[in-house]
Structure 1
């Protein structure tokens, strides 16, 4: 039979709440019409609060009668974070974990004709489910694509084609394919398995046939081998891709076939010479990428992923880090196609600040023993899924186990390390062809637990020539809304190239939404993917392209609209990005920041807020006289969009939505989430500066600035002995603070000054002091917002044990 994959992103109904018993009740006509991908929190303007609770989805699924008796499943590419799937009132499956694909077998639950599919989703914080913490937004929803899969009872398993190239050079490449054959039938079968690898030049290599008996109810893995001559190597400058199509036949009749792309390349991380690709040294320089975005939150389309990666590629960068969770499978596909290396990461994730059990500010590893086993298994399960669904992508050069898991309670650090070691080993068993990395390892000795150490922030200067392969996995950020400054100031010595360092990855490509107030504003482009000034600085640095002429303040006389595409597929995989811009009477772009309202006046187009959306300076969606948003449609036909701004003539553009026709009716659109949950207050026992990055004027050997924020370690000591030395712990995000405690190594004998900076750079005094009577000092003051604090010495420096910020 012919394998079928049909997207079922359209025609869903949705309502907030748990709706007990609704899975067996008739559909409620008062539910709202939504399309997938969908998030609980629409529209999303980066509020740090999120809706926490339940949401339910429902739609009718038509099944052809001649498909009954086949394997029939629903494929989900991402649901955050726990879901139950019911078909015709019966439980079909349950899944926990918000970032990895999964299938639900509905073969025995469907009948010919219309079938009722009901999905209950929650995004409740779960002590036993990763992630327990993270600087991100944990909105719920069926936020990635859903498809109907139909295949023969004798078939290739879901993602059951694995391809490796175990021996590669410029002259030839060995190709090894592992094909998992499933027999769901009542009798054993004699299966014949073959595969064909086709190159971008059209040349084909045949693998097999291999004959294998597959018992009833069993799965057998069949290994095929072949060789390519003069292979076209995959490289960011020429991302050549091959396609392998595997087939399984019984009694001369083909029962199933699956295709996957792969690339031919080899690479190596070294401890002393950096990174090598296809035998040549290759300096990694890239950016971290979060998946959420202006208006639509986590529920981006494949087209939005394609645009995001194209923006990183345009800069001249060559690697992306999937911070800090498995991304949509299409993300890796686009990295393959566009030529970007990919650091794929698991969500063993921690974050600093005042730890709170019960919200995503908790210890990365559980603090209660009863939670440990399920938590650890959630990460094993996710790692298996991440590797299985992404293993064939040539762009992926490492499986990373997580990020900053050292932000765990000190009492459980040994267990967090043991789990990291176990996951590293599991990664290498599942995929021996790639090294395992650990990201964010600049504290507590996590850097030696994997094959590659990923140092964040001041780790770039704390671990010079560490003796193991290493990458700076986060550096800098260009904090703030609006256009920002053009030139980026590199910190922690990142601007110095070292032969032993494999590269550096900027934090981060785009602004992102987070539950941490004040965080998420470190992007080279804003939440709506509008490039900041620094974006063009990087492009000039890496590609030599001069920046555009930036708009200056003035009065607009004209509003214009432009779009990246004239057409929108109606299957939920794509959208059109619309940008509205202000021009003066001479036709020049002008920074006139008045609100802009976009309205769909004809057709089925939808913004994240429905038929209309207002972009404004108040929501940081308009700056430099422009704003942008994505529009999608689930019904075909023309989509006419009008833009209006006070005092200017309205303008329009027309898009065309293309796809399968379906009955038309006016949709009932969902309102914003009924309530937003505030993060609970911190316990206050943990310093906001603990284990955070630290900048210094200088450091004596063996006494780095990080010692002053890591309890129980050695001291910070300046290298110099004259006036002007300082130490400045970063809080990483803006916090309201009112107390700072400083432990000097000795009773202060000279003047010192305590300061804070709301922007991390412009410091204002909090307290000035001279010689004292105690080595431990506690300073309380009126609450103020701070991104960093600094202790400076106008005469000569003094040694510091610890700085605590509350």
Structure 2
């Protein structure tokens, strides 16, 4: 009997908690149509003929690809272009331009307050509830919330939600996505409650023995009532480590302040991403009216002139990448499994930081960076008051910039992964004599809303910003490229630090190699690819070694954010000017199919200090090049290695010191590369076997890598990143599809068409091959291999069981793979 009473009591408590605050994900049973439908705001509108979709949803990723989509006749000033030219594929060649409508219904219990939270809606979102316009938010990347309490029914009727979105032509310079591409939530609360993003938590003092924690809680509709807040601080293990129980009135709209001490705190860092929780219960008249949880990390940040960036008192330099928001073949529709896959690959490379270029991220990305250990630079804008794109954000900047900044800052200021704010990227305003005033306006908003983090801006016009005060007024001067001017900037600026806010822009295609091998800017070829020797870059940028050297040689450089971690849709430089079918970038360290390029291992050899790296390029299949010079590179964490071709030694190479490499300047065009790469530049091609033996610091053989001339393509090899998945209808498996010979060697010249089928507890979601010129649609169950490989993505259903994946292609034996889904 006692057990039954206890169960009933627990059930009652659960219902009571539900009654106080409930967050509901509005994801299923949305209706969607492309094209304008103004009558859709009406509650009685018949949308049964519309498509049924699940949100997040990107309407444009399904194509088709077409040269005519968003042709832009422009001069890209930041790339030093002075004459307009036709840009093809600049926004991915996908049909993102146009209007779309979404409709669904939701219920709100009587007597409750209700808010709708949009994590992102692309773009110019107009939100209607029960036929009335409830809100408008123009920037498609930002999260926003709307109090819809005045518009909802309280008599048990369902509420009708309609959302109109519009993407204008020439509103972006990369693929922005289209639609409700991030999550939508309904939040219902009592009258007195903590509003959306209603807490601010800081750690003013951090040391090994204890840390102070300060929590500010905003309480809506408190009036002159006494408010009691009981807050427990929970450790990463879930134990209560501090408690405060305070009662007071909310004076003058000020937040409710509580301070705590946490003994022997576990500090958050990329290596130790420990997370705490502050669980606050709010009481009015001895009745609990709300419960609000703030997840946070305990850590300290400091920028020291001449010394650099310190996390928890320890000096470190950012080993970061910039990433656009699209997920390759999945488009802009956010998916946690896809984001986790990207971060897992970057973590293995040694990456410890992400710049959200050039807009606000999905909240799921920030949460994963908290959990997995990545520092973040969050960035809101690619343009301010002066246009880059005809229909870009400059149209809204004057009215909306502060609102957008406040939303971003309040949304993410409690996240320990966020260590720096950026207020913009390569904005034309930086050129103006009084451009610093706009920068100061935005930086002041950051300081007001969050005084704990420094502020930077990605600047590319060095002469302008050094001369007009723009760079001098920032907390941290961030430079996009212009590596050759870092020393000058350091000497002229008062901060005595320099951040590489965007670096490299090296271009390469996975498995593609061009001869002769030489360092080149803006190299172009008939096949619209770039060389995997990692020596080609855009006119404004450089190859990775220059940024490695700046980080190594100058203590006042605080690290870099490489452009980019992953290839993305749009911006196919250097093939962006009337160069169709190029429609995705070549900048990525990892390609659009989530397959590493050679450059991945170059960064890994420098950044990953936990496990060794040895990678050899190119492949060794050059029929018709017999006897011709075919350089061999090794990217390795070992100091020295020896090359053998069919058993013949081509000698040892070792990484040079700074002084040794500088002595070669003017004699060897690759003098700097010899600090970070092992290169045998005079190797005549002969079929057979390459072998590189790596030696450790003591001269002992420590590892070896073999690359062989392959035989005839024989079968398809399948390798999944995971074999056990969650049966939640959202989880993904990335399956690498390789065309190999009978011995399992990759056939790097094979580009045959592969067909896929999926049965059981999963569905085929998409595929990609990393070829920036490929026009096969991602969602169709076929894709040609590129350099012998591609990636297929399988998505789970909401049922436990087996997923049977099969790949077939003419002329080779097919492959089969079985995955398992389980309920969590």
Change (3 A) 1:310 1:580: same
Aligned counterpart, 1:799: none
Q: 1:585 aligns with which of 726, 736, 742?
A: 742
**Contact 2:270–2:373, Cα closer than 8 Å, also in 1:** yes
* Match runs of 1:141-156 below 5 Å: 141-156=179-194
Q: CA deviation at 1:652?
A: 4.1
CA RMSD between the two structures: 3.1
Change (3 A) 1:637 1:238: closer
**Contact 1:512–1:520, Cα closer than 8 Å, also in 2:** yes
**1:349-372 superposed Cα distances (whole Å, 9 cap, x missing partner):** 3899xx876245xxx8x5xxxx5x
* Match runs of 1:786-805 below 5 Å: none
Q: 1:166 aligns with which of 204, 211, 217?
A: 204
Aligned counterpart, 1:427: 446
**Contact 2:61–2:94, Cα closer than 8 Å, also in 1:** no
Aligned counterpart, 1:55: 100
Cα distance in 2 between the residues matched to 1:600 and 1:201:
40
Aligned counterpart, 2:268: 234
**Contact 2:322–2:354, Cα closer than 8 Å, also in 1:** yes
Aligned counterpart, 1:274: 308
Cα distance in 1 between the residues matched to 2:480 and 2:435:
18
Aligned counterpart, 1:598: 756
**Contact 2:483–2:547, Cα closer than 8 Å, also in 1:** no
Cα distance in 1 between the residues matched to 2:429 and 2:738:
43
Aligned counterpart, 2:161: 117
Change (3 A) 1:115 1:227: same
Q: 2:235 aligns with which of 187, 192, 199?
A: 199
Aligned counterpart, 2:135: 93
**1:578-611 superposed Cα distances (whole Å, 9 cap, x missing partner):** 3322232223333332122223445662525697
Cα distance in 2 between the residues matched to 1:406 and 1:209:
51
Aligned counterpart, 1:495: 549
Cα distance in 2 between the residues matched to 1:26 and 1:343:
44
**1:740-792 superposed Cα distances (whole Å, 9 cap, x missing partner):** xxxxxxxxxxxxxxxxxxxxxxxxxxxxxxxxxxxxxxxxxxxxxxxxxxxxx
Aligned counterpart, 1:451: 475
Q: What TM-score, normalized to structure 2?
A: 0.70
Local SS of the residue matching 2:59:
coil
Local SS of the residue matching 1:182:
coil
Q: CA deviation at 1:257?
A: 1.0
Cα distance in 2 between the residues matched to 1:382 and 1:391:
14
Change (3 A) 1:455 1:572: farther
Q: 2:52 aligns with which of 29, 33, 47?
A: 33
Change (3 A) 1:577 1:335: same
Change (3 A) 1:295 1:43: farther
Aligned counterpart, 1:557: 714
**Contact 2:198–2:217, Cα closer than 8 Å, also in 1:** yes
Q: CA deviation at 1:653?
A: 4.0
Local SS of the residue matching 1:535:
helix
Change (3 A) 1:625 1:357: closer
Cα distance in 2 between the residues matched to 1:554 and 1:189:
81
**Contact 2:200–2:215, Cα closer than 8 Å, also in 1:** yes
Local SS of the residue matching 1:141:
coil
Q: 1:255 aligns with which of 273, 284, 289?
A: 289
Aligned counterpart, 1:209: 245
Alignment of 1:546 with 2:595, yes or no, is: no
Cα distance in 1 between the residues matched to 2:799 and 2:180:
23
List runs of 5+ in structure 2 lacking aligned partners. 1-15, 66-88, 513-531, 536-542, 577-581, 616-704, 767-776
**Contact 2:209–2:265, Cα closer than 8 Å, also in 1:** yes
Larger RCO, structure (CA 8 Å, separation 6 or more): 1
Cα distance in 1 between the residues matched to 2:167 and 2:434:
26
Change (3 A) 1:550 1:356: same
Change (3 A) 1:393 1:554: farther
Local SS of the residue matching 1:607:
strand
Change (3 A) 1:357 1:438: closer
Cα distance in 2 between the residues matched to 1:611 and 1:487:
31
Alignment of 1:614 with 2:782, yes or no, is: yes
Q: 2:511 aligns with which of 461, 483, 504?
A: 483
Q: CA deviation at 1:647?
A: 2.8
Q: 2:593 aligns with which of 521, 525, 528?
A: 528
Cα distance in 1 between the residues matched to 2:320 and 2:460:
19
Cα distance in 2 between the residues matched to 1:246 and 1:647:
64
Alignment of 1:628 with 2:682, yes or no, is: no
Aligned counterpart, 2:561: 505
**Contact 2:37–2:101, Cα closer than 8 Å, also in 1:** yes
Local SS of the residue matching 1:181:
coil
Local SS of the residue matching 1:475:
strand
Cα distance in 1 between the residues matched to 2:711 and 2:324:
34
Q: CA deviation at 1:8?
A: 2.0
Q: CA deviation at 1:552?
A: 5.8
Count the aligned residue pairs. 627
Local SS of the residue matching 1:449:
coil
Aligned counterpart, 1:664: none
Change (3 A) 1:478 1:348: closer
**Contact 2:710–2:746, Cα closer than 8 Å, also in 1:** no
**Contact 1:36–1:572, Cα closer than 8 Å, also in 2:** no
Cα distance in 1 between the residues matched to 2:357 and 2:778:
30
Aligned counterpart, 1:537: 602
Cα distance in 2 between the residues matched to 1:460 and 1:203:
51
Cα distance in 1 between the residues matched to 2:24 and 2:558:
42
**Contact 2:297–2:415, Cα closer than 8 Å, also in 1:** yes
**Contact 1:234–1:240, Cα closer than 8 Å, also in 2:** yes
Cα distance in 2 between the residues matched to 1:647 and 1:422:
63
Q: 1:298 aligns with which of 317, 324, 332?
A: 332
Q: CA deviation at 1:112?
A: 2.8
Q: CA deviation at 1:573?
A: 5.3
Change (3 A) 1:524 1:428: same
Structure with the bigger percentage of strand: 1
**Contact 2:460–2:482, Cα closer than 8 Å, also in 1:** no
Aligned counterpart, 1:675: none
Change (3 A) 1:610 1:590: closer
Q: 2:278 aligns with which of 235, 238, 244?
A: 244
**Contact 1:286–1:312, Cα closer than 8 Å, also in 2:** no
Aligned counterpart, 2:421: 399
Aligned counterpart, 1:75: 117
* Match runs of 1:10-49 below 5 Å: 10-24=28-42, 25-43=44-62, 47-49=92-94
Cα distance in 2 between the residues matched to 1:553 and 1:379:
57
Q: What TM-score, normalized to structure 1?
A: 0.72
Cα distance in 1 between the residues matched to 2:822 and 2:143:
27
Local SS of the residue matching 2:197:
strand
**Contact 1:194–1:206, Cα closer than 8 Å, also in 2:** no
**1:83-136 superposed Cα distances (whole Å, 9 cap, x missing partner):** 12223333332222111212233334245364432211112269xxxxx66x42
Alignment of 1:346 with 2:504, yes or no, is: no
**1:234-273 superposed Cα distances (whole Å, 9 cap, x missing partner):** 1222122211111101233321111122111112122311
Aligned counterpart, 2:390: 358
Cα distance in 2 between the residues matched to 1:656 and 1:351:
52
Local SS of the residue matching 1:455:
strand
**Contact 1:163–1:262, Cα closer than 8 Å, also in 2:** yes
